[in-house]
């Protein structure tokens, strides 16, 4: 069994939809004999590689694709990202979570992230 644990949808450009990007990705997985893939969404709404909501929708009933939720506390919508990521993990729609912990070059991991995560969760 082969699992690609860090994948993004191919960019939806030039009129291509995210659904077409998903189909393109599945063809690539087949070509390379990859059984499963974990997709990482973009933290930006209406992203050409799929936002959190887009990737959740595209992977919801697909047995080969899973989502890794992402949280970026530099974005204003990080509380909703945390909520969606945690609630979808319990529903098995999201298989794991990636946090972007450094918000400033001089801060170590956790110094700013943990208080914000605790306040929301």
β-partners of residue 97 are 69
The position carrying tokens 């009933």 is 61
Contact status, residue 70 vs residue 52, Cβ threshold 8 Å: yes
Give the model confidence (pLDDT) of 95-106 as tens digits.
566 655 544 544
**Residue 33, number of CB atoms within 10 A of its CB:** 7
The pLDDT tens digits for 33-68 are: 999 999 988 877 788 999 888 998 999 889 899 888
Q: How many angstroms separate the Cα of 103 from the Cα of each of 45, 52, 60? A: 20, 20, 31
67-94 per-position pLDDT tens digit: 887 766 666 666 676 666 666 555 555 5
Q: Are 105 and 88 in contact (CB under 8 A)?
A: no
């Amino acid at each position: 069994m082969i699992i690609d644990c860090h994948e993004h949808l191919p960019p939806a450009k030039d009129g291509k939809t995210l659904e077409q990007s998903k189909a393109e990705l599945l063809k690539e997985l087949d070509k390379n004999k990859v059984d499963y893939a974990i997709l990482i969404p973009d933290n930006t709404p209406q992203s050409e590689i799929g936002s959190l909501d887009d990737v959740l929708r595209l992977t919801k009933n697909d047995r080969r694709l899973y989502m890794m939720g992402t949280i970026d506390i530099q974005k204003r919508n990080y509380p909703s990202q945390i909520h969606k990521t945690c609630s979808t993990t319990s529903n098995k729609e999201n298989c794991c979570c990636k946090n972007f912990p450094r918000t400033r070059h001089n801060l170590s991991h956790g110094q700013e992230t943990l208080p914000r995560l605790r306040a929301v969760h």
